Structure 1
Amino acid sequence: MEIEGYEKIIKAGEIASKVRDEAVKLIKPGVKLLEVAEFVENRTKELGGEPAFPCNISINDIAAHYTPKLNDSLEFKDEDVVKLDLGVHVDGYIADTAITVDLSNSYRDLVKASEDALYTVIKEINPPMNIGEMGKIIQEVIESYGFKPISNLSGHVMYRYELHTGISIPNVYERTNKVIDVGDLVAIEPFATNGFGMVKDGEPGNIYKFLAKRPIRLPQARKLLEVIAKNYAYLPFAERWVIKNESERLALNSLVRSSCLYSYPILKERKNGIVSQAEHTILITENDVIITTR
């Protein structure tokens, strides 16, 4: 079976792996989050890819959907547990990967729990593989470390220019008939926590998705919408990619209120537990399960 875009899928994975491994070395106390995010996105382009979504840098009880805002001054601290989650696409074919960096050196087992769950479930994949059974494996591994999987976050099957296609890979057992099979490109991302085991919506983040063109009153907002529709019609984008000042931020906010854009909320652990994450993209072929982001 010939897999559409095979070489581009592999290239995206190679770029994502290299950028992840280089960016991890920059995550140190006193370094700005913005510096790391911009390195990730610029390095991705230097290597021949494009960001599939804004670089996510989620700290401590924040599980996902934080990316630095324009001129963000936030810096890493000694006690931080940092999730670096990045995506690369080559002509729309995506690689998605994440790693946890424990600057505090206090959560070694928590980090290991998500990593072990990731590699264990990948080893167990035998297509067609029931996604509920995959969730069971992830759950059992994380719980064996004394932690909880985050039940309302999941991995996802990806298509060309589509991060989420409707098939999710749960982090807990679910009774379902859905499977992943040969030809599927899948991001698997176990999240572990010492908290409640679920996330809740926090403040609006700095990540957006284009929804539709609609009649807009403000000229600046209309102009901004045209730029977004032309350049970011399919994949998520960052506030800092499209605005340069506060007046443009007001235009961006008006597009959200008009339902032209969706604003991703920052996702926080429900009981403020510390969260770890590990993620790889896999491609299922007739003969193998390829980790594209190894």
Structure 2
Amino acid sequence: MSTNADDSINNNHLNGDEEVDDAEDDEAVDTQEAGAGTGAGAGEPTKKKKKKKPKKKKAAGVQQSDPPRVGLSKLFPDGVYPEGEIQEYKNDNSWRTTNEEKRYDERMAMEDPETTYQSIRRGAEVHRQVRKYARKMIRPGMTMTEIADNIENGTRALVEENGLDSGIGFPTGLSLNNCAAHYTPNAGDTKVLKDGDVLKVDIGVHVNGRITDSAFTLCFDPTYDKLLEAVRAATDAGIREAGIDVRVCDVAAAIQETMESYEVELNGKFQRVKPIENLSGHSINRYQIHGGKSILLVKNDDQTKMEEGEYFAIETFGSTGRGRVVESGDVSHYAKIVNAPHVPLRLQSAKALLKSITKNFGTLPFCRRYLDRAGESKYLLALNHLVAQGIVNDYPPLCDQIGSMTAQFEHTILLRPTVKEVVSRGEDY
């Protein structure tokens, strides 16, 4: 889920039964390329560092269903979930890998009673399995509501939704074409996916408030493959640059340089892919999707540093348009403001709705479909009142100029004491 850096826009804004040897190393070259109509995107071949493969023990004979509906506790009965992709920190921070003090810090983090690592890895594995199905399931001719329901039903089943302990991290983003972010269908939306569309699929999963935020883009017209390739490569560049004590402006510079090195051919003319200058990646706090730190997609002077133990959503957006978004369209996304002020509410309906929001979502983002599902009705007046009183934020769709196309790729990373873990990395991206 995106953060908008412009103050005028942002309101605050594998199944198997065998055990893999933990000591087994692998070294590979990633040569994935974008295929026509796949929307997978691709980066230049990059050599992966040697890394330890995690133990992945699953219950004998238990397989994921199609569509996915088998809860992860049945697939991983020992409660140990797959580790994400491990990247060593860059040269000036690589000492952390072997430093005894940092290794001790890592052991202590693993023994955290809140099981931070296992919570986020559980959410990440849900994400991988649900999106694997989504990439196969999503086809032109489907309505946005059908796509959202398929994804969210899978997420709820696999994460074994349980109140605020585990569930959907934020509304499934299904932004189309020039719309870059913050669109999900409201009730009655009849919009249909077409062959020429570029679809951003932004899925959120949370366990104990630890949110996995990861997104990909699909297209069915090879015209836009280079757009997707550029954005995916830019996200990977941002991930490589990120690290403890790294300035967010340096991550932004790497993202911009990578994305602008790509061109898209449109109507016989080549044009450079533009990073969307007023969107950004962001830190993630517990039960708070936008944690306060932003990573812009263009060069800037923000000297804020990333810190040990932080989670970040490294997300990039590219465009064939002007490279800047504005609010446009009906609002679907909302979130109760963290530490919202206590404001006397004159509408009884607003008081009742706030109680329902607090009970069902806390400070996690929600959408109007989720209020419908919670049994709320005729709530728009009350919801708008909560927004007007500064208790709830609304997040309108964010769109570039009409006729342009936008793409998004995103991963959640964890800055561990010894290494960087790309928790949401999968075989697809």
* TM-score with structure 2 setting the length: 0.65
Partner of 1:194: 320
2:414 to 265, 271, 283: 283
Task: Give the distance between the partners of 2:287 and 2:420, measured in 1 at CA.
Answer: 22
Deviations 1:232-259 (A, max 9, x none): 2211101011136873334433433444
Whether 1:87 aligns to 2:215 is: no
Whether 1:147 aligns to 2:276 is: no
Between the two proteins, the alignment pairs up a number of residues equal to 294
CA contact (8 A) 2:320 2:406 kept: yes
Whether 1:174 aligns to 2:303 is: no
1:137 to 254, 260, 264: 254
Bigger proportion of residues as strand? 1
Superposed counterparts of 1:66-85, under 5 Å: 66-85=183-202
SS in 2 for 1:205: coil
Task: Give the distance between the partners of 2:390 and 2:303, measured in 1 at CA.
Answer: 34
Deviations 1:2-35 (A, max 9, x none): 4351111111111122222221222211101111
Larger radius of gyration: 2
Give the residue type in structure 2 aligned to 1:199: V
2:396 to 247, 261, 265: 265
Higher deviation after alignment, 174-183 or 99-108: 174-183
Displacement, 1:231? 1.7
Task: Give the distance between the partners of 1:291 and 1:89, measured in 2 at CA.
Answer: 16
CA contact (8 A) 1:204 1:263 kept: no
Task: Give the distance between the partners of 2:191 and 2:377, measured in 1 at CA.
Answer: 18
Partner of 1:227: 356
Partner of 2:265: none
Displacement, 1:160? 1.0
SS in 1 for 2:379: helix
- Percent of counterpart pairs with the same letter? 37
Higher deviation after alignment, 88-97 or 257-266: 257-266
Superposed counterparts of 1:178-257, under 5 Å: 178-211=304-337, 212=340, 214-243=343-372, 247-257=378-388
Displacement, 1:137? 0.6
Give the residue type in structure 2 aligned to 1:203: G
Task: Give the distance between the partners of 2:208 and 2:395, measured in 1 at CA.
Answer: 24
Deviations 1:171-227 (A, max 9, x none): 111122211132111100011111111111113411111245644444444322221
CA contact (8 A) 2:243 2:415 kept: no
Partner of 2:140: 29
Task: Give the distance between the partners of 2:311 and 2:355, measured in 1 at CA.
Answer: 31
**Which ranges of structure 2 fall in alignment gaps of 5 or more residues?**
1-104, 160-165, 263-271
Task: Give the distance between the partners of 2:256 and 2:306, measured in 1 at CA.
Answer: 18
Superposed counterparts of 1:56-75, under 5 Å: 56-75=173-192
Give the residue type in structure 1 aligned to 2:317: F
Displacement, 1:126? 4.3
Give the residue type in structure 1 aligned to 2:219: D
Task: Give the distance between the partners of 1:216 and 1:26, measured in 2 at CA.
Answer: 44
CA contact (8 A) 1:95 1:281 kept: yes
* TM-score with structure 1 setting the length: 0.93
CA contact (8 A) 1:100 1:278 kept: yes
Higher deviation after alignment, 246-255 or 141-150: 246-255
